[in-house]
């Protein structure tokens, strides 16, 4: 299938490469000219101008956007709405807020343009291992693009769970559903990451244990075996002391939206919230609160700290 | 190897069976005569009296205890100390508190008896899939029993992570280390379980999503793929509404000890603690607190609820 | 001062009464005709039609809205915008989201109407004890209404903290600031309430303690003395077992907004969030999560609960 | 009444001074000779040797210990047990763990010595404002010492809550009850402090608000008025930026014991636990956890932070 791809960052370039490896026909564009040039070796049709990309595609055109969440994605979509025609399709593969999809969709729909929101999991491993895709939008439009999804998703199957022989992409429902499910996916990811981090932190503070070996032995058949644990093993094998990291942890938005959604629905999400707050803490964001506690202790108890 | 096994519950009987399947020689005992009789078909040497078990083993004897945490395990160990001789070995495979191991060990050591504390992960799946074993105690004593550990641990290897070809058991360090690492393992498990539970709960409360299909698609190559997720898939495939469960969730102690340890070490464990508290909440244990909140709202705000 | 008051619920009627007691001139209106009639005895000018209220006020008119958060307040404000003239003032004393103030203000300002957002604390005790008022909007408009705020705020002063002789209302800043500060105030309130609730809950579960007497002795000079503690004492004096409450606890929105704000600002608010979630839990909102935990325990461990 | 006092730190010296101001007869001792000399000006009988203190008291002797929690208190009590006689009384006014009281009591009781455990709240303000006392032990022994408790507790009464004219000390129950109630008291204190800290932290991060004025206006008749809020006001009046504090917050043990107790009783204490963890976080105790999170993000997502 012929596909336009806008955005050649870590995720975008790997997606383009995986599609090229699977004999798809990709026309790529990025705002950064150097990144475009670097991509040349992978064999896609590179374009240096937004409008060139549009011209090089055949009607009905399909364009996959893979840009950071926020203004840049919004702007690009509004530009596309301007230049695309009835029957063309915009695929937003970024980590967007599902509410943006829904509000954005009305505009897109008015012009007869199709829209798919696709949550993509797999990280930088996806190029070789394949991606897990969660897709929202009109089902017929989803179906038209199954070749793309098929190629992006995983080929290798886990023999341990050999009953599985289905594809690794899923149609979740109407517009926003793909990003919604991806949002929850990432919320869960935060909780799992923090679960491991806390456990290893307690072990580290307790006594001399070989954390690398422990992470390894847990991978095979313990109840907590997972892909993230495998990642931890690779990390600890290289450096159990984590000297290359200072412990400043960012977040990319989805866990915030997950919590907002939980609160909207009046359900609690203690663990997911604690995971997000733990990252805020790593950035020392509560310093004024801590200072105030210290000041109170001094003022009523005479404690100096 | 010839081994005595005390306790034929869900875990004990499966361990005995897996050892028998691997040509070990097991002499088994349980306080419940019916459970012993039921075990007969699996081919171990059954005994109906504690002392019979001791007699049927050859010096130096090794006895694996697989009993529920608490008094029953403690009592059994004190009885064994009384009857065993120098050179015999007690293996506690239950979910004991590592502090009990340490205090218990002094008594055991005085009589020249050996002691290994073994954390066992694998659940009821371990019989076929094999167990992950975390072992503490004197290293030479550990080495003498490697045949046992080899047979209990997993044979199947995950091809996805094909670089792994090591055994699935680990020597963690001196007495208590095995149960310590198992305790942390379970703490992490609580956090992971709660992460999934919260995520699926929000999806359930949000809108009509096919939770079964979503759990399935996440298993292969998403970042949150794990064995627990596979369990969730099996559950949801059978009944997405979970009609057979009322939502009363027990805990078996390890997460409590994990938190106690974290607090002792002055490190926080927000997610693991939230996971435990979530289970307390499922039992409606904070009803007086909730009533007091409601009463306050009534008294200062006139709110009736 | 002559003032229109829309909304005669628990808070609105008490505010009107306190103003009347302080020789202000109140024209009141409510959608519920019975509530209006009930109010007649307090001496305000009652009106049965929205437009009557507008007619009975003198230009420039000031109208205090005291309605539940949500559609009803929004609708009333849009109606007022329609009928009011340049120089008139709308005072929203309800628990509104400060973001609504800001978006609403643009419309109001266009028509030359003034707007004050006022956070009111004091509960049903405010009628006699006075209110604490947090006010946002244009400072000159705030100043014009100081008579109102002076009368509504507390007259009695705490002799313990005798250095205080200032008024009990505060100008917080531009539009939205009053409701913003009130939102934080309520967030803190949730945290304090939950702190007491958890403490008393542990005592209740521990052993036979006279909770009523304990709450009383803490009021005077302990570090945790507070007005809420006094409320608790009154409650426990009447019924230590809280037989009249089932423990279903509502929330009125501000704590949700506080958390949303914290997350927006990338700062953590562990305690305030836990307080809100605790209320969600009291409503058994996480039942599906609990069921899924229980199902996992059954599926991998064979635990039946 | 004639009373021995061991320990002249912040709390001990103020207690001795308040008793002296109330015409009690205090014989004081501290391990630090300079502290004893400094105390001379207040008029108590100072002693430089432990045994001197014992000699200067009349049978039956009452000795109040006011030492830091831990070894020093334990050692002093064991020394006292050695030298005291039947009918003498040890009063432990420190922040002890109620479980220590119970285990300690058996030894004390054997020798016919009496024991009272007293939780003391009031901080450095207690000297002038009086203390709130929570007392455990045999009731007749409690009654013998009411003169002491009466003098230590508050004289000033809050006119706002004028119905209160009772004393500010309470007999909580048998040995350990005083320290148990004090433990819960401090647990609640942690939760309240953190509630305020989080609220002010969000305000600080949101926009330019006059935090000092806000803390002041909340003191009088808002629902969150409290003594701690008054402390906050004093702090912010002096320095709203809290330049003298770095935000490293200690804890003194009681909140840890409160959480341990909650977990033992299978009740959750989300807010109290979050308050404690917040202090751990202020000491950057989770750095390894944070580093591991950062490493995971790098390894699967290529995120560099």
Q: A190 or B166, which is more confident?
A: A190
What 3-state DSSP class applies to D189?
helix
The predicted structure's pLDDT at residue A286: 87
Contact list, D227 vs chain C (CB under 8 Å): 221-226
Say whether C296 and B200 touch across the interface (CB within 8 A).
no
Q: Is the pLDDT of residue D160 over 60?
A: no
Closest CA to A247 of A283, A211, A276: A283
Closest partner residue to A223 (CB to CB) among B161, B228, B274 is: B228
Annotate chain B with DSSP letters as a single string.
-EEEEE--SHHHHHHHHHHHHTT-EEEEE-S-HHHHHHHGGG--EEESSHHHHHHHSPSSPEEEE---TTHHHHHHHHHHHHH--TT-EEEE-S---HHHHHHHHHHHHHTT-EEEEEEEE-GGGHHHH-BEEEEEE-HHHHHHTHHHHHHHB--S--STTTT--S-SEEEEESTTHHHHHHHHHHHHHHHHHHHHHHHHHHHHHHS---HHHHHHHHHHHSTT-BHHHHHHHHHHHH-TT-TT--------SHHHHHHHHHHHTT---HHHHHHHHHHHHHTTTTHHHHHHHHHHHHHHH----
Say whether B181 and A214 touch across the interface (CB within 8 A).
yes
Whole-number mean pLDDT of chain B? 92
Query: Range with the lowest mean pLDDT among A214-228, B155-169, C201-215?
Result: B155-169
Based on its alpha-carbon atoms, the radius of gyration of chain B, rounded to whole angstroms, reads: 22
Compute the distance between CA of residue B260 and CA of residue B297 in angstroms, rounded to an integer: 33
Rounded mean pLDDT of A266-277? 97
Question: Are D292 and A232 spatial neighbours (Cβ–Cβ below 8 Å)?
Answer: yes
Contact list, B244 vs chain C (CB under 8 Å): 295
Whole-number mean pLDDT of chain A? 92
Say whether B134 and A217 touch across the interface (CB within 8 A).
yes
Q: Is the pLDDT of residue B254 over 50?
A: yes
Chain D's closest residue to C229, CA to CA, is D226
Question: Are B190 and B276 spatial neighbours (Cβ–Cβ below 8 Å)?
Answer: yes
pLDDT tens readout for residues C123-161: 998 998 899 999 999 999 999 999 999 999 876 554 444
**A132 to chain B, minimum CA–CA distance in Å?**
5
Question: Are C143 and D186 spatial neighbours (Cβ–Cβ below 8 Å)?
Answer: no
The predicted structure's pLDDT at residue A165: 45
Phi, psi of B91 (to 5 degrees): -115, 115
Look up residue D118 and give its two tokens: 């007293």
Contact list, C259 vs chain A (CB under 8 Å): 259, 263
- Measured in Å, how far apart are chain B's first and last C-alpha atoms? 65
Rounded mean pLDDT of B113-125? 95
Q: Please confirm whether the linkage preceding B60 is cis (ω < 30° from 0).
A: yes
Asked if C157 reaches chain D (Cβ–Cβ under 8 Å), the answer is: yes
CATH 3.40.50.720 fits C3-172, yes or no: yes
Residues of C recognised as catalytic: 182, 189
Closest partner residue to D192 (CB to CB) among C181, C195, C269 is: C195
Residue A278, C-beta contacts closer than 8 angstroms, at least 6 positions apart? A194, A197, A249, B270, B271, C268, D286, D289, D290, D293
Rounded mean pLDDT of D245-257? 94
**B148 to chain A, minimum CA–CA distance in Å?**
16
Residues of D recognised as catalytic: 182, 189
Chain A's closest residue to B268, CA to CA, is A198
Say whether D248 and A294 touch across the interface (CB within 8 A).
yes
Look up residue A204 and give its two tokens: 């580290």
Cα C285 to Cα B205, B287, C275, distances in angstroms? 9, 14, 15
Closest CA to C236 of C264, C252, C213, C263: C213
pLDDT tens readout for residues D187-237: 999 999 999 999 999 999 987 899 999 999 998 778 999 999 999 999 999
Residue B279, C-beta contacts closer than 8 angstroms, at least 6 positions apart? B190, B249, B250, B251, C290, C293
Residues of B recognised as catalytic: 182, 189
**B95 to chain A, minimum CA–CA distance in Å?**
14
Alpha helical stretches, state H, chain A: 10-21, 33-39, 50-56, 71-83, 98-110, 126-129, 139-144, 146-152, 177-206, 211-221, 227-238, 254-264, 270-282, 287-301
Alpha helical stretches, state H, C207-239: 211-221, 227-238
Say whether B268 and D285 touch across the interface (CB within 8 A).
yes
Look up residue B181 and give its two tokens: 């690492």
Say whether D194 and C191 touch across the interface (CB within 8 A).
yes
Beta strands in chain D (DSSP E): 2-6, 25-29, 45-47, 62-65, 89-92, 114-121, 132-137, 169-173
Interface test with A, best of D124, D239, D249, D250 (most A CBs within 10 A): D249
Residue with tokens 């829904």: A102
Asked if A208 reaches chain D (Cβ–Cβ under 8 Å), the answer is: no
The predicted structure's pLDDT at residue C179: 97
Question: Are D4 and D62 spatial neighbours (Cβ–Cβ below 8 Å)?
Answer: yes
Compute the distance between CA of residue A251 and CA of residue A261 in angstroms, rounded to an integer: 17
Contact list, A286 vs chain C (CB under 8 Å): 267-268
Closest partner residue to A132 (CB to CB) among B157, B185, B222 is: B222
Q: What was the ipTM of the complex prediction?
A: 0.94
The predicted structure's pLDDT at residue B164: 46
Compute the distance between CA of residue A124 and CA of residue D301 in angstroms, rounded to an integer: 5
Contact list, B256 vs chain D (CB under 8 Å): 263
Query: Range with the lowest mean pLDDT among A214-228, C257-271, D254-268?
Result: A214-228
CB pairs under 8 A between C and D: 289
**D86 to chain A, minimum CA–CA distance in Å?**
36
Question: Are A150 and A126 spatial neighbours (Cβ–Cβ below 8 Å)?
Answer: no
Compute the distance between CA of residue B200 and CA of residue B202 in angstroms, rounded to an integer: 5
Asked if B283 reaches chain C (Cβ–Cβ under 8 Å), the answer is: no
Say whether C242 and B289 touch across the interface (CB within 8 A).
no
The predicted structure's pLDDT at residue C156: 55
pLDDT tens readout for residues B28-76: 999 999 999 999 999 889 999 999 999 999 989 999 999 988 889 999 9
Closest partner residue to D288 (CB to CB) among A200, A279, A288 is: A200
Closest partner residue to B221 (CB to CB) among A130, A189, A213 is: A130
Question: Are A42 and A30 spatial neighbours (Cβ–Cβ below 8 Å)?
Answer: no
pLDDT category of residue D99 using cuts at 50, 70 and 90: very high
Question: Are D61 and D88 spatial neighbours (Cβ–Cβ below 8 Å)?
Answer: yes
Q: Which chains form contacts with chain C, at 3 or more CB pairs under 8 Å?
A: A, B, D
Contact list, A197 vs chain D (CB under 8 Å): 286, 289-290, 292-293, 296
Say whether D268 and B283 touch across the interface (CB within 8 A).
no
Residue C8, C-beta contacts closer than 8 angstroms, at least 6 positions apart? C16, C28, C29, C30, C32, C35, C36, C39, C66
* Torsional sign, CA A239, A241, A243, A249: positive
The predicted structure's pLDDT at residue B241: 94
Interface test with A, best of C268, C283, C287 (most A CBs within 10 A): C268
Helix (H), strand (E) at residue C32:
none
Closest CA to A224 of A232, B118, A13, A91: A232
Asked if C120 reaches chain D (Cβ–Cβ under 8 Å), the answer is: no
Cα B132 to Cα A218, B78, B122, C138, D212, distances in angstroms? 7, 27, 6, 67, 58
Of the candidates A45, A56, A99, A189, the residue annotated as catalytic is A189
Say whether A225 and B226 touch across the interface (CB within 8 A).
yes
Residue D110, C-beta contacts closer than 8 angstroms, at least 6 positions apart? none
DSSP letter at D29 equals: E
DSSP letter at D109 equals: H
Compute the distance between CA of residue B154 and CA of residue C84 in angstroms, rounded to an integer: 78
Query: Range with the lowest mean pLDDT among A143-157, B205-219, D176-190, D287-301?
Result: A143-157
DSSP letter at C4 equals: E
Chain D's closest residue to B269, CA to CA, is D277
DSSP letter at C160 equals: G
Distance of CA A155 to the CA centre of its chain: 20
The predicted structure's pLDDT at residue C302: 85
Say whether A235 and D295 touch across the interface (CB within 8 A).
yes
Strand partners, A192: none
pTM reported for the whole predicted model: 0.95
Binding-face residues of A in 284-303 toward C, CB within 8 A:
285-286, 289, 300
What 3-state DSSP class applies to C132?
strand
Whole-number mean pLDDT of chain D? 92
Look up residue B270 and give its two tokens: 């927000």
Say whether A184 and B170 touch across the interface (CB within 8 A).
no
Q: Are strands A25-29 and A2-6 parallel, antiparallel or unpaired?
A: parallel
DSSP letter at D61 equals: P
Q: Is the pLDDT of residue D162 over 50?
A: no
**D223 to chain B, minimum CA–CA distance in Å?**
8
Q: Is B190 exposed, middle or buried (0-12, 13-18, 19+ CB in 10 A)?
A: buried
Say whether B268 and D260 touch across the interface (CB within 8 A).
no
Say whether B294 and C196 touch across the interface (CB within 8 A).
no
Asked if C204 reaches chain B (Cβ–Cβ under 8 Å), the answer is: yes
Compute the distance between CA of residue D226 and CA of residue D222 in angstroms, rounded to an integer: 9
Compute the distance between CA of residue B293 and CA of residue D188 in angstroms, rounded to an integer: 14
Asked if D42 reaches chain A (Cβ–Cβ under 8 Å), the answer is: no
Domain residue spans of chain D: 3-172, 182-301
Question: Are A184 and B199 spatial neighbours (Cβ–Cβ below 8 Å)?
Answer: yes
Residue B289, C-beta contacts closer than 8 angstroms, at least 6 positions apart? C194, C197, C198, C200, C201, C247, C278, D267
Query: Range with the lowest mean pLDDT among A43-47, B2-6, D299-303?
Result: D299-303
Look up residue D235 and give its two tokens: 């702090």
Question: Are C112 and C84 spatial neighbours (Cβ–Cβ below 8 Å)?
Answer: no
Contact list, C121 vs chain D (CB under 8 Å): 218, 221-224
The predicted structure's pLDDT at residue A167: 67
The predicted structure's pLDDT at residue C15: 97
CB burial of C257-288 (b: ≥16 within 10 Å; e: otherwise) equals: bbbbbbbebbbbbbbbbbbbbbbbbbbebbbb
pLDDT tens readout for residues A237-265: 999 999 999 999 999 899 999 999 999 99
Residues of chain C with pLDDT under 50: 158-165
pLDDT category of residue B155 using cuts at 50, 70 and 90: low
Beta strands in C126-268 (DSSP E): 132-137, 169-173
Say whether B280 and D268 touch across the interface (CB within 8 A).
yes
CB burial of B58-88 (b: ≥16 within 10 Å; e: otherwise) equals: eeebbbbbbbebeeebeebbeebbeebeeeb
The matching CATH number, chosen from 1.10.1040.10, 2.20.25.90, 3.30.230.70, 2.160.20.10, for C182-301 is 1.10.1040.10
Residue B161, C-beta contacts closer than 8 angstroms, at least 6 positions apart? A219, A230
């Amino acid at each position: 299938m012929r596909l336009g791809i806008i955005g050649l960052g870590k995720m975008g370039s790997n997606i383009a490469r995986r599609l090229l490896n699977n004999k798809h026909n990709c026309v790529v564009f990025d705002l950064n000219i150097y990144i475009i040039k670097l991509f040349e070796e992978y064999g896609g049709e590179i374009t240096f101008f937004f409008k060139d990309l549009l011209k090089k595609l055949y009607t009905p055109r399909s364009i996959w956007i893979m840009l950071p969440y926020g203004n840049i994605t919004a702007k690009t979509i509004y530009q596309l709405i301007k230049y695309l025609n009835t029957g063309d399709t915009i695929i937003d593969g970024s980590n967007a807020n599902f509410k943006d999809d829904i509000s954005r969709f009305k505009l897109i729909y008015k012009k007869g343009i199709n829209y798919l929101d696709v949550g993509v999991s797999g990280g930088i491993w996806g190029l070789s291992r394949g991606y897990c895709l969660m897709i929202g939008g009109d089902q017929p439009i989803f179906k038209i693009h199954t070749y793309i999804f098929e190629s992006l998703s995983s080929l290798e199957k886990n023999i341990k769970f050999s009953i599985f022989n289905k594809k690794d992409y899923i149609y979740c429902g109407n517009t926003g559903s793909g990003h919604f499910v991806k949002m929850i996916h990432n919320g869960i990811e935060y909780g799992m990451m923090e679960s491991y981090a806390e456990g290893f932190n307690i072990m580290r503070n307790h006594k001399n244990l070989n954390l690398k070996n422990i992470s390894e032995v847990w991978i095979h058949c313990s109840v907590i075996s997972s892909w993230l644990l495998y990642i931890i093993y690779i990390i600890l094998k290289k450096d159990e002391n984590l000297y290359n990291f200072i412990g400043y942890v960012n977040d990319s938005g989805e866990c915030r939206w997950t919590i907002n959604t939980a609160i909207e629905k009046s359900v609690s999400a203690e663990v997911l919230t604690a995971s997000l707050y733990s990252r805020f803490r790593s950035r020392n964001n509560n310093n004024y609160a801590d200072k105030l506690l210290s000041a109170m202790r001094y003022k009523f108890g005479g404690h100096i700290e």
